[in-house]
Chains A and B, each alone.
Chain A
Amino acid sequence: MKTARIIKSSFMGLGKNKLRSFLMMIGIVIGITAVTIVVSAGLGAQKKVMTRVKKFGLESLMVFAGGGRETGRPSSGQPVTTLKLSDAETIKSTIPAIAEVAPFNRQGGGMIKYKEKSSTAMIFGVTPTWAPVWSWYTEDGDFISDEDNSRMARVCVIAPTLQKELFGDANPIGEQIRIGNVLFQIKGIMEARGISPGGGDMDNRVYVPLSTYMRRIANVDYIAGIKIRLDDVEKMNEVVVDIQSILRERHVLAHDEPDDFRVITPKAVTEFAKKVTGTFNIFLVLVAGISLISGGFVITNIMLIAVTERRHEIGLRLAVGARSRDIRFQFLLETIAITFSGGVIGVLLGFFGAFILRLATAIPVLISWEGIVLGIVFSSLVGLISGIQPAKRASDLQPVDALRG
C-alpha cells in the first residue's frame, strides 16, 4: 500500500516534468530502436540463411577443385586441374551412402548473344544428375540429357534472369544463342532459384552438356566440382572422410601435402552466410550500444541536476517522514520509468523501422517477441544503472541541508 503510493507519487512527478522526461528518453529511444532493428534484421537474416541452406540441400555436400578454406571460386588465378570426371564416378561407385553425384564445370562472365542482344552469365557444364541433386528442374522444356552429353550436343538450358535479358517475355525454346563463338539451341528454361548461399544470382546462368562445355567452350579435361547428394544425412561426416581419402589417393598426394580440393557441407555454408550478415549486425549493435551508453550518461546527468533542483522537494519529503530509502526508491523508479517508456517507444519505432527497411531494401526482417523482450530489458537496465548515482545522491541528503538548499 505504502509502496504503491510512493510509486504513484513518483509517476506524478514525471508527468509534471514532461520536457525533462522527454529529453531523458531520446537516447534510449534511439538505442532501443537500433536494438530492435538489429534483432529483427538478425533474425530475418538467420531465416534467410536457413532458406539458402535448404536451397543448397541439407543432405548435400560439394567438392570443389583446389585447396583453401573459402567457398566459391579458387582465389588464385591459376585453375586447378586435378579434379577429373573419373573422380566423380569413383566416388559414386565406392561410397554406398551417396545417392547421386553431379560433376560440373563452369565459368563466370561468359558472353551470351541472341541476334544483336548480348548479356553475360555463368556458363555451367552439367550432366542430367544436376537436376535431381539440386532438386532443381526445368520450368519449361527439357534439361540436359545423357544423350546430349554423349553426342556432345550444342544444346543449352537457360535460367530466368538470362531469359529475361535476352528474350523478354518471348518463348526462347528452340531459339539459337551464341555462347562464346559457338551456337547453341535452347531446349529448356530452369525454375527460378533466387540468391545463392554466397549471395550471387542463381538465375543468371546457362547450362550446357558437360562434355560440350569441356571440349567446345573451355577446352579442358578437368571439372570444377562435384555436387553430391546423400541417402542418409547421418552419414555426412563419414562420407566427407571417405571422399577425402579417395581423392587424396587418386591425386597421389603425399602425407605432408595439403588437399587439392575442398569439401563443403551445409554447416560450412551456414557459417559462411552468417559471416556475411554478421558484419552488418556488428555495425548496428555498435550503434545501439553507443546510443544506449551515451543515453545512460545523459540520464545520469539530467537526474543529478534534477536532484539539485529538487533539493527542497527532497527536504520536504524527508521532513514529513520519508526515509532515505524512500527517496532512493523514488528517484531510481523515476529513472527506470523513463527508460522503460523510452524502451517501449523504441521497440515500437524499431518495428516500424524494420518494416520500412523490409519495404525499402532487400534486407529481410522478422518481427519477434525476442526484440520486444530485449528492448525492454535493456532499457530498464540502462535506467537502473544510470539511476543509481542520482538516487544515492538524493537519499544521502540530510533533511536540514536539503531544506536550507
Chain B
Amino acid sequence: MHIIVQTKNVSKVYQKNGGVPIYALRNISLSITEGEFIAIMGASGSGKSTLMNIAGCLDRPSEGEVIIDGQAAHTLDNEALARIRNQKIGFVFQSFNLLPNTTALENVELPLIYSDRNNISGLAKEALNKVGLADRLSHTPAELSGGQQQRVAIARALVNDPEIIFADEPTGNLDLRSSYEIMALFQELHEQGRTIVVVTHEPDIAEYATRVIKISDGNIQNDTSNNHIRKAQEDLKKLIETAEVK
C-alpha cells in the first residue's frame, strides 16, 4: 500500500534559554498508509499534538526524517512546505478556526485562494455539499452551531482533495450529539477512501478509528489496530432514540 506519511527517528526538543532540554518527542518512527483511520491518543503534554504538527508539516523535527508522499519534508524550505500543506494535507482544529464574519463558502474557499486551481467557489460548494451543508453557504460562523462550524472546517480540509486529513481534538468543543455526527462524517469519509488522523485524549473517540497509536511522554507506547470499531452513526441513532423516549 501507498505510504503517505513516514517519520524516521523523529525527535522534538525544546530548550528555553539554555535550560534543560525538554523532549516533546523521542525517536518516533511510524508510517501512515493510504486509507487508514488512525487515532493518536495521549494525555495532554504527551506529545501527540507535536507529532501531528510535524507529520502535517506545520512544524519541523529537531532530529529525524519526515517523508510526505515520497518527499523528504525535513529538507524542504518553508515555501515548499506551504505547498505540501496546500496540496496534500487538510487540517481540522479543536476550535474550528473559521474566519469570523466570513461566510461558510468563503471559509471553505480559503485553501483554494493559495492554490493554482480555478473554479474555487464551485469546488467549495461541492465540499460543503459533502458535509451536508449545501443549504448553509452564506451563513457566517456566528449563525452556525458548533457541529455545523466543525463541518465547515472539515469541508475546508477536504476542498483541496488532500492525501491526508489531520484533525486535532475535533470533538473537543462539541456536545455529545455533535461529536457523534462529526465522527460519523469522518467514518463516512474514511469509507470513501480518505486517510484520516484524529488526535484525541478521549478513549471513546479512538474507538471509531481503525488503528490506535498511544503516545506517552514523547514515546509511542503502543500501536495497535482496532478490532472492535464502533459505528458513530449507530451511536447517534441510539442517542436520538433515547432522547425521544424521554
| Residue ID in chain B nearest A325 by CB atoms | B79
B86 close to A (CB within 8 Å): yes
**Chain A residues closer than 8 Å to B78, beta-carbon distance:** 323-324
| Residue ID in chain A nearest B95 by CB atoms | A312
Q: How far is the CA of A50 from the CA of B56 in the complex (A)?
A: 71
Query: Contacts A5-B120, A403-B58: A321 and B111 contacting too (C-beta < 8 A)?
Result: yes
Q: Which of B97, B101, B102, B114: most chain A CB closer than 10 A?
A: B114
**Which of B56, B91, B113 has a CB less than 8 Å from the CB of A6?**
B113
Q: Which of A6, A322, A399: most chain B CB closer than 10 A?
A: A399
A16 and B114 contacting across the interface, CB-CB below 8 Å: no
Q: Mark A1-24, 1 if CB is under 8 A from B, else 0.
A: 110011001001000100000000
**Which of B56, B79, B91 has a CB less than 8 Å from the CB of A323?**
B79
B58 and A316 contacting across the interface, CB-CB below 8 Å: no
What band does the interface of chain A fall in when counting residues whose beta carbon is under 8 Å from B? 20 to 34
B99 close to A (CB within 8 Å): yes
**Chain A residues closer than 8 Å to B114, beta-carbon distance:** 2, 6, 317, 320-323, 326
B116 and A320 contacting across the interface, CB-CB below 8 Å: no
The binding surface of chain A is classed by DSSP as helix
Q: Mark B196-209, 1 if CB is under 8 A from A, else 0.
A: 00000000000000
| Residue ID in chain A nearest B81 by CB atoms | A399
B87 and A321 contacting across the interface, CB-CB below 8 Å: yes
**Chain A residues closer than 8 Å to B87, beta-carbon distance:** 321
Q: How far is the CA of A299 from the CA of B161 in the complex (A)?
A: 39
**Chain B residues closer than 8 Å to A1, beta-carbon distance:** 116, 118
Q: Mark B34-75, 1 if CB is under 8 A from A, else 0.
A: 000000000000000000010010110000000000000000
A2 and B99 contacting across the interface, CB-CB below 8 Å: no
Q: How far is the CA of A2 from the CA of B118 in the complex (A)?
A: 9
Question: Which A-B residue pairs are the 8 nearest by beta carbons?
Answer: A321-B86, A320-B111, A400-B59, A321-B114, A323-B82, A16-B101, A5-B113, A399-B58
Between-chain CB contacts (< 8 Å), 14 pairs: A2-B113, A2-B116, A5-B113, A5-B120, A312-B97, A315-B97, A320-B85, A320-B86, A320-B110, A322-B113, A323-B83, A324-B78, A325-B79, A326-B82
Add 11 more A-B contacts to A1-B116, A316-B110 (CB < 8 A).
A1-B118, A2-B114, A2-B116, A316-B99, A318-B58, A321-B86, A321-B114, A323-B78, A323-B82, A326-B114, A403-B58
